[in-house]
Structure 1
Amino acid sequence: MKKDLQQSDVLFFIVCFVLGILAEESFFRGQIGISTIVFIVVMYGVFFWRFYGFPFANQRLGYLVAICIWLLSISFYISNNMFFYVLNIMVVPVLVLFHFLLITRPKLLPWTSFSFVKYAFGRMIEAIRFDFRFSASFLKVFKGDNQKIMVWKKVLIGIILSLPVLGIVLYLLSTADDNFKQIVGNLPEWIHQVKPETVFRFFVIIGYTFAFFGVLYVLGQKKMTVIEKNNSFSIPLDGVIALTVLVLMNAVYLLFTIVQFQYFFGGILQESYTYAQYARKGFFELLAVSIINLSLTVSILSGVKQTGALLKKWLQISLSLLILTSGVILVSAFLRMYLYEKAYGFTFTRVLAHSFMIFLVVIFAYTLVKIWFEKLSLFHFYFISALLYYTGINVVDLDRLVVQQNLVRYEQTGKIDLQYLNHLSYTGVLGLIQLYEKNPDLPGLKEILRERKREVTWENRTWQSANLKHQEASAALKKLTD
């Protein structure tokens, strides 16, 4: 940090202060909606202005992460699912920080290494230290030399001497004009009305300001980073021990697979829905087993390094068998959840579980290829696929799929959970309106829509909370006649 403040530093601090005000306005004024998009646009504008001409690293992955960040930000406006709403409040800032660190890091530092994690934490600590040093340098301006101190003393004396004159003048002006008297008289009341919320919002703005200022300033400074040779996350494993574990687990999974194939081809579960409770109980256990198998596979692939040719071949065969049996387990879990949905209807959690199983199938398929082609990177693929999966399920709008499937199920069985759709999101309300247009005499439906119409009629939403699904549902509800 330079001893004296530079004009560019002060200007950048002012820009960050404005960005801090926008952050507080965007995220602390009610439910978040379109304000996220506005903030992201301005923040990235400040970022690229600050880093104009900077030699960015890993630009292809950087573009992918940036696109996902923008899509997740847009999801605050286009959808209204509270699960993703809460999750994205945490995910989006983490992704933004990761994106900034990714493209400003030293080009020789692999982002998949443990050194990158240490580099990231080191940069954050540097940002905090820089903020303290900048604050100290800023305060020095007010200290100054003896001549500046004398100037400030004279200003203070001038203020004190002017107080009696100001008191007389204010009294005379207040007597001459009642409106002016009212304004002056309300000044103490205005000071008294400063609420704790105002103080809290001020400190939020200051916090955001120094966060943006410190991080963006430090990331713009090039840093020499020592790259360690041993950057592995894995713990060394013995090949014989790993093979023994795999043989025992595969024996159990093969027995389980034989039993499952009796269900698949014997038609036992397809005859009736009497196994719905069994399906519900077994689903989560099977999903947990699949995740355990994936973790075991990754641990062995990354932990077992030096083995003989024969032992290596047996490990590959055993790992492949573990992956294949895990596939059978996933199919079994998928069918169990499908049966449960047929018996009790579709919910967001059940559809999300289905999508997660499809994601696991992709992960297992790539891991199977990795077993035989060692040069492939697991972490690189896992991160990108997880990022694409999470962004995809945000953009697809799973609530809409849930509503459509429940409406189809109602046409087939006459069964539907109106209260669940009512509490799902505004997508659920749109589904209820669609159902009402075809079945206006459905018991309880009119009362639910009447209550929702009353809510949207009297609610007062800020511009920050603007949401497309809310707007569509509000417009549709207001068109309904009681």
Structure 2
Amino acid sequence: MDDFSTTKTLGEQSDHPILHNRSSRLLLCTVLLGVLANWFFFDQLPGISIPLFVFAFYSVFLWNTRSIVTVRRDFSGFLLIPISLLSLTYLIFSNMVFYALNLMAIPILIVMQTTLAAGRSKSAWHSVKFIGDVFLGFFYRPFAFLFLPFRLIAKRLSKGLSMGKSSTLTRVLLGVLIAIPLVVIVVTLLASADEVFSYFLGAIPELLEAINFDEFVPRFIFATVIALCSFSYIWSLITKRRPLTTFREPEDYVNLANSIDHVVAATILSIINAIYVFFTLIQFSYLFGGFSLDLPQQFTYAEYARRGFFELILVTLINFSILLALIYWTKKVGKVMDRTIQVLESLLVGCTLIMLGSAFIRMYLYEQMYGFTYLRVLTHAFMILLFVLFIFTLCRIWNVRIELFKYYLLTAITAFVLVNYFNSDVLITKWNMARYEQTGKIDVGYLSSLSDGAIPQLTGLLQAEDEAVRAKTENYLFERKKELNDERSWQSFNLSRLHAKKVLANFELRHNKAYDYHTPDLPND
């Protein structure tokens, strides 16, 4: 663990001018950052404020760490791309699902990037141990120096008073203390001498009453927390850097490498693969059309798809864990046995890929029956991600030099950014409308729960032949048009909402009480 002793920092180094200059400059910057956060986010919808705040944070970070941090053409520099792209989604899109996901993803990426850029990671970024550095950045660094600003201020004040030669701040405070009783006496006399002065003096309490303390207090707390946590986090990256070579494993560290016997591994793989090969034949019979077998009479394809999808995903994740454990922990004994285990592991990967294909088709059949939702579309994306990760795993089985965690991490970050820019709201609306043309079934209530990005496509339902569909769509668009016409603060500016507002401005919409749009009733699984 890094040396974050605040006692040592203050007790032994507080007289050093560099400490005061750096800490004072950083404290001022983070106070401004807290004020910006309060202005941008408190009681505001997310919008352009998110990328602006990320830019402000990095301005503070880079300026205060300029002696140790440079933007390099390595992984830390690469991370600036997804951070920028994800923060811009709050300006470009209005999808609340991804708003929530990105609210977790962006801080994680920022912690990763700043830790690597400042050289404070104890492990390489492509090592599993780097996860520990990320946890440290989240749960320790923002709180390690929370009280340092108060101690520095107290140190300076006490130093100024004890030196006899007071600083400017000390003399100002002394002057204020002396002036307070004089002000009370003078103001009382003047108020008695002049009624107009007394009137304006009496208006001061009314001005204070105009201040909304119910709002001021939480705003002040919010800004203070942001300022202090930002100060603590950045200061922890500035102070006393240690090289990576100083990291040592704890004495009780258990090395799991070569801990699985090769015979045990081969036995496990043989039994599991036998079951999976039989299961694969069933999948080819019913789903892939490889054989002429039909589904049992009590099943429809939609029911068959729904009953086994999540079980297949769970089995896939179990297989993923088994493969990683065997790849890294199986004892190497000889060329023949090692090659046998590699073949069995490859067979497990092949069977798992077929399971993923089966799950993909099951979900497709289910969507054809019940429609498209966020969860179903994101599940497709997750299965594609798993497919890519299993391909990397297969390559690692035959090439031990491949660093899996590196490829997993890069693939996951890239996939997450791509899904954000996939504009799922538009696709879900288009696919459900295409399904409506084929089946005559559509849930306007669910489509009305999508983001404003779907509104341009939803206007197509205003020409639907079904009166109920047409009226429910018009009711929703009528209400949404009124909401979009309401004035919003500039902090919440969003291109998706602006585009929807312009589209709806071209329509004369009316509300039909007989067809109030209902809550979503599409199955959520």
TM-score, normalised to structure 2's length?
0.83
Following the alignment from structure 1 to structure 2, what is the Cα–Cα distance between the partners of residues 381 and 233? 23
Letter matched to residue 163 of structure 1: V
Following the alignment from structure 1 to structure 2, what is the Cα–Cα distance between the partners of residues 174 and 12? 49
Q: How does 1:194-233 map to 2 (within 5 A)?
A: 194-195=213-214, 197-221=215-239, 222-225=241-244, 226-228=246-248
Q: Does 1:435 align with 2:461?
A: yes
The structure with higher relative contact order (CA 8 Å, sep 6+) is: 1
Match of 2:117 among 92, 103, 113: 103
Equivalent residue number for residue 479 of structure 1: 506
Higher mean C-alpha displacement, 115-124 vs 285-294: 115-124
CA offset at residue 88 of structure 1?
Answer: 1.3
Following the alignment from structure 2 to structure 1, what is the Cα–Cα distance between the partners of residues 51 and 65? 21
Higher mean C-alpha displacement, 250-259 vs 285-294: 285-294
> Are the structure 2 counterparts of residues 108 and 453 from structure 1 closer, same or farther at C-alpha, using a change threshold of 3 Å?
closer
Match of 1:45 among 27, 48, 59: 59
**Secondary structure at 1:387's aligned position in 2?**
helix
Identical-residue share of aligned pairs (%): 32
Equivalent residue number for residue 265 of structure 2: 242
**Secondary structure at 1:374's aligned position in 2?**
coil
Q: CA RMSD in A?
A: 2.9
After superposition, the C-alpha distances for 1:318-370 in whole angstroms (9 at most, x for unaligned) are 10000000111111111111111111221121111111111111111111011
Q: How does 1:252-331 map to 2 (within 5 A)?
A: 252-263=275-286, 264-265=288-289, 266=291, 268=294, 274-331=300-357
CA offset at residue 377 of structure 1?
Answer: 0.6
Contact between 2:142 and 2:230, CA under 8 Å: does it hold in 1?
Answer: no
Following the alignment from structure 2 to structure 1, what is the Cα–Cα distance between the partners of residues 347 and 27? 58
> Are the structure 2 counterparts of residues 316 and 121 from structure 1 closer, same or farther at C-alpha, using a change threshold of 3 Å?
same
CA offset at residue 34 of structure 1?
Answer: 1.2
TM-score, normalised to structure 1's length?
0.90
> Are the structure 2 counterparts of residues 200 and 356 from structure 1 closer, same or farther at C-alpha, using a change threshold of 3 Å?
same
> Are the structure 2 counterparts of residues 445 and 133 from structure 1 closer, same or farther at C-alpha, using a change threshold of 3 Å?
closer
Q: Does 1:470 align with 2:494?
A: no
Equivalent residue number for residue 145 of structure 2: 130
> Are the structure 2 counterparts of residues 448 and 429 from structure 1 closer, same or farther at C-alpha, using a change threshold of 3 Å?
same
Equivalent residue number for residue 522 of structure 2: none
Match of 1:450 among 478, 484, 496: 478
CA offset at residue 200 of structure 1?
Answer: 1.8
Following the alignment from structure 2 to structure 1, what is the Cα–Cα distance between the partners of residues 359 and 133? 41
Following the alignment from structure 2 to structure 1, what is the Cα–Cα distance between the partners of residues 476 and 498? 18
CA offset at residue 272 of structure 1?
Answer: 13
CA offset at residue 232 of structure 1?
Answer: 8.9
Following the alignment from structure 1 to structure 2, what is the Cα–Cα distance between the partners of residues 471 and 384? 33
> Are the structure 2 counterparts of residues 58 and 367 from structure 1 closer, same or farther at C-alpha, using a change threshold of 3 Å?
farther
Letter matched to residue 98 of structure 2: F
Contact between 1:115 and 1:227, CA under 8 Å: does it hold in 2?
Answer: no
Following the alignment from structure 1 to structure 2, what is the Cα–Cα distance between the partners of residues 187 and 454? 36
CA offset at residue 464 of structure 1?
Answer: 2.0
Q: Count residues in correspondence.
A: 477
* Structure 2: 5+ residue stretches without partners: 1-8, 510-525
Equivalent residue number for residue 169 of structure 1: 190
Equivalent residue number for residue 3 of structure 1: 14
CA offset at residue 238 of structure 1?
Answer: 2.1
Following the alignment from structure 2 to structure 1, what is the Cα–Cα distance between the partners of residues 439 and 361? 20
Structure with greater helix percent = 1
Following the alignment from structure 1 to structure 2, what is the Cα–Cα distance between the partners of residues 430 and 96? 34
> Are the structure 2 counterparts of residues 153 and 16 from structure 1 closer, same or farther at C-alpha, using a change threshold of 3 Å?
closer
Higher mean C-alpha displacement, 360-369 vs 137-146: 137-146
Contact between 1:173 and 1:181, CA under 8 Å: does it hold in 2?
Answer: no
Following the alignment from structure 2 to structure 1, what is the Cα–Cα distance between the partners of residues 508 and 148? 64
Contact between 2:121 and 2:133, CA under 8 Å: does it hold in 1?
Answer: no
CA offset at residue 169 of structure 1?
Answer: 2.8
Contact between 2:71 and 2:77, CA under 8 Å: does it hold in 1?
Answer: no
Contact between 2:34 and 2:227, CA under 8 Å: does it hold in 1?
Answer: yes
After superposition, the C-alpha distances for 1:90-109 in whole angstroms (9 at most, x for unaligned) are 22112111110122226884
